[in-house]
Chains A and B, each alone.
Chain A
């Protein structure tokens, strides 16, 4: 998978490039926005990491131009500013996620993978996490080639979790999305589905965590 890194600080760029390459990504780096714009227009990248504080054209302007040219690459903003306005402006312009410096490499990797996963699911109709593969078109799940037997509702919940990770799936929203007009689902029922999923997903390299009062989150179990 190929990633374009737009970052003007050489040391930060070096660290990210090395970390990403170790995780199996191919990384191109540029220190300014102008070459990044043409690179993204000419080449297919799976994701762009964009620093906001760039010389001359800043990151916001780069994102604005890319989206105006209908370049749909997923964009993760990386910035040292953490005021509300910066966050809102970046996401409003069409960025997909936002991280504030200084950051942890593992968290950056998790966010990158999630963004790539989401954007790929739109084109390949496939989602993956750990050894788990979800075929969105056929509504099937498998782990290391072996199919997993899931009920319709279990599959729906797993899809929601995999689309959202590393973010939390709101339990109430899950209840609403699975309910039908004549058949209201209870939160208890969702809890039962989750507990069944946990059993079925053992050994797939993922874990469903309960965030009390909010919902559920699918985490990949990273092997150290």
Chain B
């Protein structure tokens, strides 16, 4: 069935699950990176701070009170040791009680300090560079001396990026692995679903047998149960329809039989001058009976009819032989020479439907063959290895243009006699379809006439 709405890309369960998982996983990645970074970076930072504080304390050790003044004993060698710090620049300053610079760099300002406390650490900038500094307040007899040591943050930054780099790769890999596992998991989880839909897709539209329930996951069991119920309902409906048709057949045919018998009796009794009227009535009743029969045959051979349980081996030659007598009488009444060429060929089929098919093929041929003509019904195995039934006549033949349309219901070929129902060949087509058989029309020969062949599938 085609939808008139533009088709949107199908949201598969797999895609939906992956999209739903991807965003939270990415957020989790960011949070866990931040947390990990702090956990890994803080101890490193503390160690550097500790070293910086040590420097400040060491520098404090070089402050001496000499009489009234406070002096710093900082020979160049000692200062070099203090200032040496790998890639980072290190600054230092010692400020006297009055804030005067006793030694070191003039532009280095102390941070907030507390008397008697350990060196206080703070961030600052110096000459455009970010620095970390330790400020320490040393109490002397001449008043408080402030010692400041600062260093640029190169090595801290480097260790930070190293930690980050070391963490990002495994975290991203972890996320990718998780997504991969989810993908595989979803796939295998969805596999029974795919299996089930394949199974349903493979079914013929007439197959109303129960769905297999073997490895159906619990989540979709309600769905399968619902479908099974639907199938059961369909089957019940199909059976109800079949029994309705059987009933309808009975209900229609019984009064028709009564009518026909009464008319036959009346026709025999009436004086000749009135008889033709009753004969017309009787003939009309016969046509009505025939139409009822054809309609029921058509309904019971339609696509919704399930003939699987009616199939058994049928010898097509036997079919011809068994019913030859009845058809012979019809041909006799029309002065047509009806002959048979039965050659044994066995197929799996519903015998009563095949009888309808053959009866309608022969009726059709008898109808279009002029009196004195010849009709032959054949069975056998064709050159293609397929069992067939065919009926050949030497009537006017069927024009190419009508080959398709003659199988339509109620289609009447131009110049067809008035007595037909227009259903005969439609029944032939339906019965052929129910048996996966193909119907071909060919010209019978140079003398004209048509040959309709129904080719069946060979038995397995």
| Partner pick for B265 among A12, A18, A53, CB 8 A cutoff | A18
Give the nearest-CB partner of A100 in chain B: B253
Asked if B250 and A53 make an inter-chain contact with CB atoms under 8 angstroms apart, the answer reads: yes
Please state if B250 and A214 are interface contacts (CB–CB under 8 Å): no
What distance in Å separates the Cβ of A53 from its nearest Cβ neighbour in chain B? 6
For the complex, give the distance between the alpha carbons of A144 and B342 in Å.
Answer: 39
Cβ proximity bits B249-263 to A, threshold 8 Å, 1 near / 0 not: 111111111111110
Q: Which residues on the A side are within 8 Å of B246 (C-beta)?
A: 81, 83
For B264, give its contact among A11, A19, A170 (CB under 8 Å).
A19
Q: A70 to chain B: which residues have CB within 8 Å? A: none
B340 contacts A211, C-beta separation under 8 Å: yes
Q: How far is the CA of A217 from the CA of B340 in the complex (A)?
A: 14
Q: Are A217 and B258 in contact (CB under 8 A)?
A: no
- Interface 0/1 of A80-118, CB less than 8 Å to B: 111111010000000000001111111000000000000
Report B307-329 residues with CB < 8 Å from chain A CB: 310, 320-321, 324-325, 328
Asked whether, in the complex, the Cβ of A167 is within 8 Å of the Cβ of B339, the reply is: no
Residues in A neighbouring B251, C-beta threshold 8 A? 80
Contact with B along A194-224 (1 / 0, CB 8 A): 0000000000000001011110010000000
What A residues does B324 contact at CB under 8 A?
168, 211, 214
> What B residues does A103 contact at CB under 8 A?
257, 260-261
A104 pairs with B264, CB closer than 8 A: yes
Taking a contact as CB atoms under 8 Å apart, the answer to whether A102 and B256 are in contact is yes
Contacting residues, chain A, for B105 (C-beta < 8 A): none
Q: Is the CB of A102 within 8 A of B249?
A: no
A80 to B264, CA, bound (A): 19
The chain B residue sitting closest to A217, CB to CB, is B325
Whether A15 lies near B341 (C-beta < 8 A) is no
The complex places the Cα of A54 from the Cα of B259 at a distance, in Å, of 19
Distance between Cα atoms of A36 and B264 in the complex (Å): 27
Q: Of B246, B258, B260, B285, which is in contact with the most chain A CB atoms at under 10 Å from its CB?
A: B258
* Residue B351 interfacial (CB < 8 Å): yes
Interface string of B234-248 (1 = CB under 8 A from A): 000000000000100
Contact present for B310 and A84 (CB under 8 Å): yes
- Chain B residues lying within 8 Å of A166, measured Cβ to Cβ, are 325
- Minimum CB–CB distance for A101 against chain B, Å: 4
In the bound complex, residues from chain A placing their C-beta under 8 Å from that of B250 are 53, 80-81
Say yes or no for B94: interface residue by CB 8 A criterion.
Answer: no
**Shortest beta-carbon distance, A86 to chain B, in Å?**
9
* Bound form: Cα–Cα A170–B324 in Å: 11
In chain A, what residue has the closest Cβ to B297? A82
* CA distance in complex: A11, B254 (Å): 9
What's the Cα separation between A213 and B378 when bound, in Å? 9
A85 to B253, CA, bound (A): 18
A101 x B262 contact (CB < 8 A): no
Contact between B262 and A11, CB atoms less than 8 A apart: yes
**In contact, B253 and A102 (Cβ under 8 angstroms):** yes
Contact of B261 among A12, A85, A87 (CB under 8 A): A12
Q: What interface size band does chain B fall in?
A: 35 or more
Q: Contacts of B252 on A, CB cut-off 8 Å?
A: 80
CA distance A209 to B341 in the complex (A): 17
- With A83-B352, A217-B328 in contact, is A15–B261 under 8 Å at CB? yes
A11 — which chain B residues lie within 8 A by C-beta? Answer: 255, 258-259, 262
Q: Is A16 an interface residue (CB 8 A)?
A: yes
Closest residue of chain A to B351, judged by CB?
A84
The chain A residue with its CB closest to the CB of B242 is A83
Are B340 and A209 within 8 A (Cβ)? no
B289 touches A102 (CB 8 A): yes
> Roughly how many angstroms separate A170 CA and B325 CA in the complex, as a whole number?
11
Q: Considering the complex, give the chain A residue whose CB is closest to the CB of B324.
A: A214
- Nearest residue, chain B, Cβ from A16: B261
Shortest Cβ distance from A165 into B: residue? B325
Which residues of chain A are near B196, meaning CB under 8 Å?
A: none
Determine the distance from Cα of A19 to Cα of B269 in the docked complex, in whole angstroms: 11
CB pair B350 A84 closer than 8 Å: yes
Could you say which residues of chain B place their CB within 8 Å of the CB of A82?
249, 293, 352
Contact of B325 (CB < 8 Å), options: A16, A106, A167: A167
Partner of A102, one of B260, B320, B332, B351: B260
A137 to B181, CA, bound (A): 94
CB distance from B325 to the nearest CB of A (A): 5
Q: With the chains together, A114 CA to B352 CA distance in Å?
A: 24
**What residues of A have a CB within 8 angstroms of the CB of B124 in the complex?**
none
Fill in one digit per residue for A13-51: 1 if any B CB lies within 8 Å of its CB, else 0: 011101100100000000000000000000000000000
Residues of chain B contacted by A104 (CB below 8 angstroms): 260, 264
B125 to chain A, nearest CB (A): 103
Alpha-carbon distance A84/B265, docked complex (angstroms): 30
- Cα A80 to Cα B253 in complex, Å, equals 6
Smallest CB-CB separation from B264: which chain A residue?
A105
Partner of A15, one of B265, B289, B342: B265
Q: Are A80 and B254 in contact, with the CB atoms below 8 A?
A: yes
By a CB distance below 8 angstroms, the chain A residues around B328 are: 168, 209, 211, 217
Give Cα A130–Cα B24 distance, bound, in whole angstroms: 100
B residues near A (Cβ < 8 Å) are: 246, 249-262, 264-265, 268, 285-286, 289, 293, 310, 320-321, 324-325, 328, 332, 337-342, 350-352, 376
Residues of A with Cβ closer than 8 Å to B? 9, 11-12, 14-16, 18-19, 22, 53, 80-85, 87, 100-106, 166-168, 170, 209, 211-214, 217
10 closest residue pairs by CB, A with B: A212-B339, A15-B261, A11-B258, A213-B340, A101-B257, A102-B257, A80-B253, A84-B352, A80-B250, A12-B258
